[in-house]
Amino acid sequence: MNVILNPMVTEEVMMANAIRALTMDAVQKANSGHPGMPMGMADVAAVLFSRFITVDPTQHDWPDRDRLVLSAGHGSMLLYALNHLIGYPDMDMAEIRRFRQWGARTAGHPEYGHAQGIEVTTGPLGQGIATAVGMALAERMMAARFPDLTNHYTYVIAGDGCLMEGVGQEAIDLAGHLRLGKLIVLWDDNGITIDGDTKLSTTTDQIARFRASGWNTAVCDGHKPVEISRAIFDARASKRPTLIACRTVIGFGAPAKQGTHEVHGAPLGVEEVRSARAHLGWDSAPFEVPDAVYAAFGRPARRGRDARAMWEKRFAASPNREAFVAMMKADSAPLRRPMAAFKAKLIEKSPSVATRKASEMALEVVNGVLPFTIGGSADLTGSNLTRTTGMESIAANSFAGRYIHYGIREHGMAAAMNGLALHGGFRPYGGTFLAFADYCRPAIRLAALMGIPTIFVMTHDSIGLGEDGPTHQPVETLASLRAIPNLVVLRPCDAVETAEAWEIALETRDRPVLMALSRQSLPTLRSEARTNLTASGGYVLRATERRDVTLIATGSEVEIAWEAADRLAKEGIAAAIVSLPSFELFAAQPKAYRDEVLGEAPRIGVEAAIRMGWGEVLRPDDAFIGMTGFGASAPAPELYRQFGITADAVAETAHRLTGK
């Protein structure tokens, strides 16, 4: 198609107008979407692609590419238009036409794995910028290990909402503290939110805030390519992360609606689209792009291809290439023999330890064998026990270590771990108390949605934490986490199950894993560890020749079930014990296996949490011994007595159900 463009329009303005036109057309056809941000940030995006970004559409996942994170995910057409124009093969015009339709790669918000060139699922504002901090941190950590093979930037396009959300502050504080100089945030500073002018809800001086957090800052006119280019050029030379406030007009080019909140999240309308085309001098029909535009975007595509080819030559000549491949592959196979030997020792010694301590013991094996595991904690290292022997801390200008002090930033930690996992080269795990999983929940949910193997270590998992009281006792948290699709929740009962939980977490590649670990010491109940029984989700821990009742328990309550079974045996009732460390893994087993494990006898569920979610294993006439409300502040043994989660209570319930 040879359309003659206005000779007065520069190439980058032409590229930007192509983004605007595709955005208007796609949103109008779908009768749904957010045209304002893509139209406002089109000039910034055009300059970024024309002059700076290094990506190769022919090999979208090569390790040393730049990362582009659209934190303001509602403006997804900006990313889809860019990926189409630069030539990602799975983003043809048919996908642009199918914007927001069933089965399209062009979802309402960018979704990782749906299309090439989408580095992270964004939508909940603030999660994108926080995840990008993890990506930028991963780049610095890989560069410390492989300086000849790692040197790229992480760019973020963010809006006012990304900066208002609390997770954004946690993220920028951490990034500034660590001086992540290859992180560049392009802020769509248009002064508009859905409700109207930002003055309705904020008077924060964002430039001052970022500077106070250790960032470099700059301001540019977001519609003047020379200013945009200068700001990005200077940012790339900074040793600190950079915020560029791009002063833009939301919906730029739509003459009647630009600069107003009306253009934020609704189609422009047929007449306004027609007026915008005339205003921009865009003569092409809907969903048609001049050859000159494709040619202009072809230049950065070739630049990226050449950069990738040069990287491959360095890689072929690098003495570190095998180690680099191993890091990127993150294969846990070398762990199998050492972990098997470790579990055998556990069986032999039968230690009585909290599962948080058992986790630390297992991590000594894990971190001693696997170089790609990266630990951390939200200022609870001594409680979560996530740091093992010899792990050096990550610090500004010192990225060779393997332990990250996230500070009291659970929101930011969880999102940053997602970024580490998405970047590649590392398997991150990080800890906090289980009650604070709610602070991590948006990132946990996104990890599950993206299918990435982030590992969340949550300790102090029940009323068993004792005196800290109900604010820290997560009675409802397990149920709510088990409700998240594609998340594996593991609540091990002893040191052996905890070691097996770590095996599962490191072998799992397609979804996140969350461990719920006890504060209080628990006896070793397993006497066999040749097979990873925890991987089945549930299994018969203690069998009986006949089965009068089945006691089903998780975590610290398996010990209570065991004590109850001992008492019942003396009283003539045969009680089998089922350990159920993972509802999700158990539900994935064949029905015949589940039926065999659960049996036909009356069942009693035991867990120091609410009953919600137990309906998968308990029938209406079965019983549950657990919590019905919040906890209290007292020593753990007293709490279990006061709330009736005891071996005596289990035994009495068994008598009632069996009639014996």
Catalytic residues: 410
Return d(Cα 554, Cα 562) in angstroms, integer. 11
Listed in sequence order, the DSSP H helices in 424-459 are: 437-450
Residue from 185, 112, 129, 110 nearest 153 by CA: 185
Return d(Cα 394, Cα 495) in angstroms, integer. 29
Q: Which two tokens stand for residue 22?
A: 């595709």
Beta bridge partners of 606: 553, 625
Question: In the chain, what is the straight-line distance between the N-terminal and C-terminal CA atoms, in Å?
Answer: 86
Return d(Cα 235, Cα 246) in angstroms, integer. 13
Return d(Cα 24, Cα 457) in angstroms, integer. 45
> Do residues 402 and 392 make contact, with C-beta atoms less than 8 angstroms apart?
yes
Return d(Cα 560, Cα 161) in angstroms, integer. 48
> Do residues 159 and 75 make contact, with C-beta atoms less than 8 angstroms apart?
yes
Environment class of 574 (CB within 10 Å of its CB; exposed 0-12, middle 13-18, buried 19+)? middle
Enumerate helices (H) and strands (E) in the chain, giving the number of each.
25, 20
Measuring CA to CA, how many Å separate 590 from each of 492, 536, 581, 587, 599?
22, 10, 17, 8, 14
Q: Which two tokens stand for residue 119?
A: 């580095």
> Do residues 492 and 515 make contact, with C-beta atoms less than 8 angstroms apart?
yes
Measuring CA to CA, how many Å separate 325 from each of 134, 141, 355, 419?
20, 15, 33, 19
